[in-house]
C-alpha cells in the first residue's frame, strides 16, 4: 500500500499539484488573472509564417473580461472582481499574460507592461506565456532582475517533443530550441514552465508516452498538459474534416475518449519526474468553439476528479516508475 511519506512534494495528493505548491509558496489561495496586452506572434505576422499554429484560435481560451483595447489596469481590476465571486479566499494574484506571444515586443515595451501589472495592489508576480523563439538574453536578464523581488514564471509553448509534429502543426521552430531556452531560463533562476498537447496528428500513443522521459530530463518547474481539441476557425479544423471525409475511416489523428485519456495520463505521470509540478491535465474550450467533442460538456474539475480516482484505484502516483 501507499506510504504517503514517500511523496517528495509534501502533501497527500498522488501528483505534485500546482494548487498545493502555490498554497505552500504563498501561504494561502492565489489566483491568476489573465490579461490581453495586444501581442501577436511571429508565426502570424509574417516574420516566420502566417496563419499561426494549425490548432490555434486564441479567442477560444480568452476570458470574457479580457479586451486588448482596454488599459491593462482595467483588465486586472475586472479580472480580480470576476475571480472574487468564485475564489473568495484568494488574497494574492498573479497577472497572466496569456494570449499569443507575450515577450514578442521590444524590451522597453515589455518593461512598461510588466511593471504596470506588478504595481497593481495585491499582484505579487507574473506568469508570461510565450514561444521559445520570442525570448533573448536581454529579456531574460531583465526577468531575472524582476524575479529577485517578485514571483516570475515564463510558460513556454512547446507542444510536442517531435520535430515531425512541430513541422506538421506549423510551429516554425524545432524541439532543440525549446530545450536550449528552457535550460537557459532555469539557469537564470526564473521559474520555468512548459505546455504540451497530447493527440496531435502523426503521434502514436507510444510516442506520446515516451515524451515523459524527455520532459523529465528538462529543468522544468511546472508543466501543463492538454488533450488535442479541434477548435472552430483553425487550419486543423479543416485538415481534420478533410481527413475524416476522404480517408475511408483511417486517420493519423489520435482522438482520445475521456476514459482513454484518463488512462493515458495515469500511465504518463507514472513515468514523469516527481519534482515537476503539474498545473493542468487537460484543456477546456467553450462549446461554441468546438468542432466536435467526444467528452460532452464535462468541466476540468470533473476530469481532475476522474484522474485522481483512477490513481487511487490503481494505487499509483507521479514518478512511480521514474528513474
**34-79 per-position pLDDT tens digit:** 999 999 999 888 898 888 888 887 665 666 667 788 999 999 999 9
Helix runs in the chain, H state only: 18-26, 72-86, 107-118, 137-146, 163-168, 175-187, 205-216, 235-246, 258-270, 300-313
**Model pLDDT, residue 288:** 66
pLDDT at 18: 96
Strands of 29-111 (E only): list them: 30-35, 92-97
pLDDT above 50 (res 247):
no
Fold (CATH) for 4-313: TIM Barrel (3.20.20)
Q: Mean pLDDT of all residues in the chain?
A: 90
User: Is residue 246 predicted with pLDDT exceeding 50?
Assistant: no
pLDDT at 199: 93
**How far apart, in whole angstroms, are the C-alpha atoms of residue 111 and residue 146?**
10
pLDDT in tens, 193-210: 999 999 999 999 999 999
Question: What is the domain partition of the chain in residue ranges?
Answer: 4-313
The contacts of residue 176 (CB under 8 Å, 6+ apart) are none
Give the pLDDT of residue 6. 65
Query: Can you tell me the mean pLDDT for 295-320?
Result: 94
Give buried/exposed letters for 308-321 (b at 16+ CB in 10 A, else e): bebbeeeebbbbbe
CA–CA dist 209, 264 (Å, integer)? 8
CA distances in angstroms from 310 to 225, 238, 306, listed in the order given: 17, 35, 6
pLDDT at 248 over 70: no
49 near 172, Cβ under 8 Å? yes
Task: Note the Cα 280 to chain centre separation in Å.
Answer: 7
Host H or E run for residue 104: none
Closest by Cα among 43, 59, 40 to 170: 43
- State pLDDT tens for residues 161-189: 999 999 999 999 999 999 999 999 999 99
pLDDT digits (tens, 9 = 90+) for 118-156: 999 999 999 999 999 999 999 999 999 999 999 999 999
Q: What predicted TM-score, i.e. pTM, was given to this entire model?
A: 0.92
- What does the pLDDT read at residue 68? 80
pLDDT at 1 over 60: no
CB 169 within 8 A of CB 131: no
Q: How wide is the angle at C-alpha 80 spanned by C-alphas 77 and 83, nearest 5°?
A: 150
Lowest mean per-residue pLDDT among 117-126, 247-256, 261-270: 247-256
List the single range of 27-31, 261-265, 302-306 with lowest mean pLDDT: 27-31
Average pLDDT, stretch 275-289? 86
Q: Average the pLDDT over 75-88 and give the result.
A: 83
Amino acid at each position: 500500500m501507499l506510504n504517503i511519506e514517500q511523496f517528495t512534494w509534501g502533501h497527500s495528493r498522488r501528483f505534485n499539484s500546482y494548487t498545493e505548491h502555490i498554497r505552500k509558496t504563498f501561504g494561502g489561495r492565489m489566483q491568476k488573472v489573465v490579461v490581453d496586452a495586444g501581442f501577436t506572434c511571429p508565426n502570424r505576422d509574417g516574420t516566420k509564417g502566417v496563419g499561426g499554429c494549425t490548432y490555434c484560435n486564441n479567442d477560444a481560451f480568452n476570458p470574457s473580461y479580457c479586451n486588448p483595447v482596454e488599459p491593462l489596469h482595467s483588465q486586472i481590476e475586472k479580472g480580480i472582481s470576476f475571480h472574487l465571486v468564485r475564489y473568495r479566499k484568494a488574497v494574492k494574484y498573479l497577472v497572466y499574460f496569456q494570449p499569443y506571444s507575450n515577450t514578442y515586443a521590444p524590451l522597453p515595451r515589455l518593461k512598461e507592461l510588466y511593471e504596470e501589472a506588478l504595481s497593481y495592489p495585491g499582484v505579487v508576480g507574473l506568469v508570461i506565456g510565450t514561444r521559445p523563439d520570442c525570448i533573448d538574453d536581454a529579456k531574460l536578464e531583465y526577468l531575472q532582475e524582476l524575479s529577485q523581488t517578485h514571483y516570475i514564471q515564463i510558460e513556454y509553448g512547446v507542444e510536442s517533443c517531435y520535430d515531425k509534429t512541430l513541422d506538421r502543426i506549423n510551429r516554425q521552430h524545432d524541439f532543440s530550441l525549446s530545450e536550449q531556452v528552457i535550460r537557459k531560463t532555469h539557469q537564470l533562476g526564473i521559474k520555468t514552465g512548459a505546455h504540451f498537447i497530447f493527440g496531435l496528428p502523426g503521434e502514436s500513443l507510444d510516442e506520446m508516452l515516451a515524451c515523459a522521459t524527455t520532459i523529465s530530463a528538462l529543468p522544468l518547474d511546472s508543466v501543463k498538459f492538454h488533450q488535442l481539441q479541434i477548435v472552430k476557425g483553425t487550419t486543423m479544423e479543416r485538415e481534420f474534416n478533410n481527413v475524416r471525409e476522404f480517408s475511408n475511416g483511417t486517420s493519423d489523428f489520435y482522438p482520445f475518449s475521456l476514459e482513454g485519456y484518463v488512462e493515458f495520463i495515469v500511465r504518463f505521470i507514472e513515468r514523469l519526474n516527481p519534482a515537476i509540478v503539474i498545473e493542468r491535465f487537460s484543456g477546456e474550450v467553450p462549446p461554441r468553439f468546438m468542432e466536435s467533442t467526444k467528452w460532452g460538456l464535462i468541466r476540468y474539475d470533473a476530469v481532475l476528479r476522474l484522474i485522481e480516482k483512477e490513481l487511487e484505484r490503481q494505487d499509483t502516483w507521479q514518478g512511480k516508475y521514474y528513474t
